[in-house]
Amino acid sequence: MEKLLTLLNTISPMSNSLIYHLHANVKPSNFSRGEYILKEGEICQHVYFLESGLIRIFDQHDEKENTSWILKEGDIFISVASFFRQQPTDENIVALEDCNCWGINYRQLQKTCESFEEFNVHRQIITERYYCRYRDRNKVLNRPPKERYNYLVQQESELLCRVPIHVFPSYLNIPRSTFYDLRSNYHINRKNEN
């Protein structure tokens, strides 16, 4: 939990009473690789801090997957609309690696914000950061497929070693065959440059 407290303290220093409250209400959760943390149709009851591991958030329409997020240690994750509206989700959250998380449920989070006005600063800044990340990701997805692939290789290269290869076409929102062509061409061009 120390990594979570460090993150929150870098956003805004917390009072001892808030730290004590978080210790009492934020609970550890562990998920095994391949385990569903949330399934379509369920209501997202928890917000999690990912201490270690990797998760994927995706939806499925007409047997086509759309991966909206791949998040790693140090990230916070929820199914946004489901959590804030407390309604069934159309998303799935699955562990891509064994994950150690710290979570707080919806009711406890609301109570924390009501009881500790200072915590609303943390909530606001975290929400703003993820909104901006989502916007930046959508900008990348509006680029041509080759630029999307290049962005993945240049900006998120760590994922190439950790995420199953079949996930990337849905993460980049390109057909599977296009992804494999781009991947082959990229490696051929890299080999010719050396």
User: Could you report the per-residue pLDDT of 27-80, keeping only the tens digit for each?
Assistant: 999 999 999 999 999 999 999 999 999 999 999 988 889 999 999 999 999 999
Distance from C-alpha of 160 to C-alpha of 165, rounded to nearest angstrom:
8
- pLDDT over 70 at 194, yes or no: no
Write down the mean pLDDT value for the chain: 94
Q: What is the pTM of this model?
A: 0.92
pLDDT at 3 > cutoff 90: yes
Q: How confident is the model at residue 185 (pLDDT cuts 50, 70, 90)?
A: confident
pLDDT (average), residues 83-112: 97
pLDDT at 189: 61
Q: Residue 27 in contact with residue 103, Cβ under 8 Å?
A: yes
Residue 192 has pLDDT above 90, yes or no: no
- How many Å apart are CA 179 and CA 169, to the nearest integer? 6
Alpha helices in 28-118 (DSSP H): 80-85, 106-115
Instruction: Please state, in angstroms and rounded to a whole number, the distance separating the CA atoms of residues 157 and 71.
Output: 13
pLDDT at 186 over 80: no
Residue position matching structure tokens 């009492």:
24
Reported as a single tens digit per residue, the pLDDT across 155-172 is: 999 999 999 999 999 999
The alpha carbon of residue 189 and the mean position of all alpha carbons in its chain are separated, in whole angstroms, by 31
